[in-house]
Amino acid sequence: MSPDLVLDPSLKVWVLLPISAVMILVGILRSYVTNLLQPLPKVSKWKDVREQQQLQKARLFRGNSHALVSKKEFLNRQAYLHEALTSGKYLKNAVKQKKDQMPPNPLSDPNASDAMFNMLKSNAANFIPQTVIMWWINYFFAGFIIMRLPFPLTLRFKSMLQQGIDTPDLDVRWVSSLSWYFVTLLGLQSVFSLILSNSSAVQVIQQQMPAQMGMPGQPDMAKVFAAEGESLQVAQFKSSTDSIEERILDSYKL
């Protein structure tokens, strides 16, 4: 068996604590910088709001068909919403595309370019600080062993806990400075949630990499409206006042 190592107590003061403190401070600073880089909310146009509200109105009507209205009123509202959705008069772009016309390029949409630019800024705010910290640790603390875990581990953890140290006979429980950086990078979520009172800042820290975003682009609202109009046709009327007398009498019997 290889003899145990004796660590200098000053390693905790000059290596372990500085790495932990820098990781916490940089994480807090990165959260506020990311919040400052977030774009201001844009005011929606009235045509966009009307389009979304009309679609929401149709969905609410279809999901709450058991309303306090008569069957005639229900059928009138169903016919009106179906005609409004299929005709496309509430679409923000009322001009219908021709069948031989190519769909618009999502990259030409200014909203799509803004979303891509915001994603680039978020990536830069996360990538640049981590790159600088890794360079700082590799330059000043390369090859340092800073702690020993109090519980045994298998050899599979050796490559994870002893990065930057090429010693095959070293016990797995010893942790290098570079490995401690990765451990703190992945394990400071609860610390940030205690320090940062702003929920948006906590979300920024928890997302070390931005959420995966698909190709920016808006769905074809004409197809969405047509599908919702077809769904309205199968909605069945069910009045909430049916057999209300019997239900009231049954409740008194109980």
- pLDDT score recorded for residue 21: 92
- pLDDT score recorded for residue 91: 85
Percent of the chain with pLDDT over 90: 5
Identify the helix (H) or strand (E) that includes residue 198: none
Between CA 205 and CA 107 the distance in angstroms is 29
Q: Is the pLDDT of residue 203 over 70?
A: no
- pLDDT score recorded for residue 102: 58
How much is the average pLDDT of 25-37?
A: 86
Q: How far does the chain reach from its first CA to its final CA, in angstroms?
A: 80
Between CA 93 and CA 108 the distance in angstroms is 16
> In this structure, are residues 127 and 87 in contact, taking their beta carbons and an 8 Å threshold?
no
- pLDDT score recorded for residue 212: 38
- pLDDT score recorded for residue 210: 40
Q: Please give the model's pTM, rounded to 2 decimal places.
A: 0.55
- pLDDT score recorded for residue 209: 40
Q: Is the pLDDT of residue 170 over 60?
A: yes
Between CA 169 and CA 36 the distance in angstroms is 49
How much is the average pLDDT of 212-233?
A: 71
Task: Read off the pLDDT of residues 68-117 as tens digits, 9 standing for 90 and up.
Answer: 677 888 888 888 888 888 888 888 776 444 444 555 565 566 666 777 77
- pLDDT score recorded for residue 19: 92
- pLDDT score recorded for residue 74: 83
> Is the pLDDT higher at 135 or at 4?
135
- pLDDT score recorded for residue 105: 60
Q: Is the pLDDT of residue 67 over 70?
A: no
How much is the average pLDDT of 135-146?
A: 88
